[in-house]
Structures are given as structure tokens and as C-alpha cells.
Amino acid sequence: METQQETWQNMNGKIFRNPITQLVEEAILREQALGHRLKVCVGSDSHVYGDAINYATAVVFIREGKGAFTFIRKEREFQRISIKERMLNEVNKSVEIAYAICAVLDAYGVEMEVHADINTDPDFKSNVALKDAMGYILGMGYVFRAKPFAFASSNCADMMV
């Protein structure tokens, strides 16, 4: 399932107009041909600017012992919502992409984690969405990671949002 007209880019700003499923399959074929063992992590982050919320979703390919590379999708929505709803929107965007690419990853034996930019410390505002996010991601059958282990959302998506 592809979402609306998608535009993906890498961390250097190179634009890709192909569907994420195609980008993922091409990347797997290229990297496995080079002998790299891969793991994919999907995560999203957002920042609020007045009535606008900017979202970024990252699909991070980790080459075991050989670095990583990322595909990023940026989106902007105009609405005022609670912190909990915004955190769950981030998780939904990550799960949507995880679901779109999971068949490709399974076909090539690539593991996947879904990262949530939610703090496990109850003193942080984002923690209000932790249980719901964890239940959603685990309920979909994916490996769940939250801060401080959620680098796909906390670092990669955060840099591009």
C-alpha cells in the first residue's frame, strides 16, 4: 500500500520519486550484492510551528559494521492537536511505511524495527503516548524501540523535520 504522491530524499537532499517499496528493494539488492548484512529501522518525528506541524519519516538502512544510509519523507499538516495525538500521528506514519515495506524486507530476510520518538521517562510530555504507541507497534508485529534507543526517529527524522 503506497500513500499519497510520495517524494523521498536522502540526507544530502537528493530527491527520489519512486515508491518507497521500489527504493527499498533496489537498496537491498545493491547492498546484499556488496555482501552487506542489513537491518532497517523506521521512525518519524515532528516539530510544531504555529498551526503547522512538520513531520519527517526516516527509513534507515544499517549495514552491519559498515555505516548506514537513509530515505526521508517530509510532510506538513495544518492543525492544532495535543502532544499525545501528535506522538501517535508520528507512530502511525512510521507504521504505515513499515507495513508498506515489510513484504519486501521479509522476501530478502532483512530485519526491521519501528522507532518511536517517545520518552520512557514519565517526566517528559511525550511519555503520555508511550503505552498506546507500544501497543500499536507491537500489535502490528513489529519490534518496538523508544528513546533512548529510537535513533531513526530521535536522530535521523529529527535532523530533517
DSSP 8-state symbol, 127: G
* pLDDT at residue number 102: 98
Residue 145 to residues 5, 87, 153, Cα–Cα distance (Å): 28, 14, 10
- Nearest Cα to 55, choosing from 122, 6, 15, 120? 6
Residue 7, pLDDT above cutoff 70: yes
For residue 9, what is its C-alpha cell?
530524499
- 113: β partners: 41, 143
Q: Using one digit for the tens of pLDDT, what is the confidence trace for 121-137?
A: 999 999 999 999 999 99
In-domain check, residue 90: yes
In-domain check, residue 104: yes
In-domain check, residue 2: no
- Does the reported pTM lie above 0.75? yes
Domain that holds residue 74: 8-160
- Nearest Cα to 159, choosing from 12, 50, 7? 12
Whole-number Å distance between alpha carbons of 83 and 126: 7
For residue 40, what is its C-alpha cell?
532497517
Residue 19, pLDDT above cutoff 80: yes
Using a pLDDT cut of 70, give the percent of the chain over it: 97
In-domain check, residue 3: no
**What domain count does the chain have?**
1
Residue 3, pLDDT above cutoff 80: no
φ, ψ dihedrals at 83, nearest 5°: -60, -40
* pLDDT at residue number 4: 44
